[in-house]
Structure 1
Amino acid sequence: MRMTQDHGHHALGVLRADLAGPWRLGLLDATVSAVATRDGVRYWLRVAPVPQPPVWVRPNAIDESQALADQVPMPRVVDTAEWTESDPEDGQVTVRAYLFEHVDQQAISPTPTLATDPGVDEEWWADLRATHDTIRATSAAGRSRSPKHVARWVHKVAPALDTSGIVWESAHGDWHWANLLAPRLVVLDWEGFGLAPAGFDAACLLTYSLTHPPTADRVRVDFADELAGDSGLLAQVYAASWISSAIEEGFHPELREPLKRHIEALLS
């Protein structure tokens, strides 16, 4: 189901909020969002269908991630609303609206990849690593990706790589430069929160950094332990293969050649 402004207006009515900015449609119209106000306070409204199997995103990932709200810099969920609609292609679909705290920070990049230096200080990098370590240590994440899912993506580019000993850890699931804010670190978009191969968040950030080699080198240094060894190689190959599917669909064309070289280096 594609989201429209009508879904947003319906959510505003149910949540007793008012529109306070332009509507923004997410990738492939999968979400509709806007700044909203309620009782004079600014919030961020996000409306999307509740994901259902077989996709790897879990229905309650955002709600489960709120267990970390006191430990990592992330927007809190203030209120929610849910309703069911009939869609010609997808049948009965549950739509969920979230009202988040409004955050006065800017995304480091308008896209997941980097065109220039992120322009953040050493404190930001330290907070990023501390946030990563807090996420991986939590027990709040449930299983999303299956061993079979990971093996399928890994073997797409590395058929001989052993995937029998996957180490699972909690992960944000979509670490890239459009989900990281500055100058004070805030992490957005937690719908991918769940268990993933150890090192997956670091591997994703490295992959999306390949368009700016100095930043990619910084990620390699700051997350060297996560990217090392058999588990680090597995995480990097998995992330690279998974992200390459988006390139095949026409997204991130600037990443095509750097990612190709990255995969060749991993397999050499």
Structure 2
Amino acid sequence: MAVRPLVELCGAGYAYEDGPAVLSGVDFGIAEGRSLALLGRNGSGKTTLMRLLSGGLRPGSGELRLDGTVVAHDRAGLTRLRTSVQLVVQDPDDQLFAASVEQDVSFGPLNLGLPAGEVRARVDGALAALDITALRDRPTHLLSYGQRKRAAIAGAVAMRPRVLILDEPTAGLDPDGQERLLAVLAGLSDTTVVMATHDVDLAVRWADDAAVLTPSGIRTGPAADLLSDPALLTSAGLRQAWSPAVTSFLRTRGLLPADVPGPRTPEALSAWPS
């Protein structure tokens, strides 16, 4: 039996004022417990799709559903949606605004009207999950770029969403910062994480599923399979992922049996039996 998505767009379309349609007739859902990478060239509609899913934009056609129920774009409907779906934008400076990390992370729970003890517990949990408890009292303008990224995500995590949508969360981070962030995301076991990225290698390594935006629509499927399709990646303006390319090379030369998974990182390849 098919599993109903947590949140989904049904026949949805959107056009900005005085512009052509960015998305049209989109049927797209997010399944619980499956990490999802969202990929596509600049201008393909990734940001619009994420804002539609999180309630920041209202579909010009079609509808948004949460747990199978149409989301009303009024105060009650959007509050219900935003307790389940949170979007963290690419630039943390567009999201952080309070004087300190603790004040910023507590803003969402306070807006829900939660008791002080519950707000404190949520803030403590979010800071711990993002490994920034030591930064609780730090002014946000004194944070490093990576710290600001994690503080912005902590603010969303404090809302305890079922779906966390991240727009290019690893952009601007050095390799160590990327790995630390991925480790943090892996620890959010009760949250379904969606990550928009241009990094196909990262998507193959990190995601269970992928969604690729192309001029002809959105293709979805298991990340390892979908992102092994060179024609699809070319149509989406993306380069071929390292892991599938190396795996294909090894198989065609008889160096890797069909039932053995290929190396997912250069480090794994370096340890490959000679």
Give the TM-score of the pair, scaled to structure 2. Answer: 0.30
What TM-score results when the alignment is normalised by the length of structure 1?
Answer: 0.31
Higher relative contact order (CA 8 A, sep 6+): 2
